[in-house]
Amino acid sequence: MNCPRCNTALQTDYIDDCKTRIEVDICPDCGGTWFDKDELSQIENIIEPTFLEIRNIPAEEEQLETLRCPKCITHPRLQKAIHPRDKKVIIDYCPYCKGIWLDEGELEAIQQDNWLLIFGKVFRCLTCTRSK
């Protein structure tokens, strides 16, 4: 799969929670991330110190640029949607395979909005590690 924004080959990476490990595809050039259907919902609340860094979200014009699905063979256009937790974050999703593209910084922005929930999760994670 190639990056819908810069056409660089995406690299497989993993995001770990204490119970889940999900596979994502990350662009080494622009730092965007592709999530297959349902992957994003699994990790939105997961704590990762790097996700809490404040990073710049690309300018609005750039976010509104039309991108095409890297996964579907016909490369349908990705639809734009505003993330319910952060109106400044415009996510691109594919109406066919239900994959989601997040530009660099967007995942962090979604997660920052959710600090308390995140810390609650960490607390639970530490607790469950200890009881093992």
**Site stretch for Zn ion (CB under 5 A), options 36-44, 59-67, 95-103, 117-125:** 95-103
Q: Is 5 in the site for Zn ion (CB under 5 A)?
A: yes
- Give yes or no for a contact between 78 and 69, defined as CB atoms under 8 angstroms apart: yes
Q: Is 3 in the site for Zn ion (CB under 5 A)?
A: yes
Candidates 15, 68, 71, 102; binder of Zn ion (CB under 5 A) is 71
- For the sheet with 100-102, list strands across it: 11-16, 21-26, 33-35, 100-102, 86-93, 79-83
Cβ proximity to Zn ion, 31 vs 86, nearer residue: 31
Q: Is 94 in the site for Zn ion (CB under 5 A)?
A: yes
Cβ proximity to Zn ion, 24 vs 118, nearer residue: 24
- Residues numbered 29 to 58 that lie near Zn ion (CB under 5 A) are 29-30
- Give yes or no for a contact between 58 and 105, defined as CB atoms under 8 angstroms apart: yes
Q: Is 6 in the site for Zn ion (CB under 5 A)?
A: yes
Interface with Zn ion (CB under 5 A):
3, 5-6, 27, 29-30, 69, 71-72, 94, 96-97
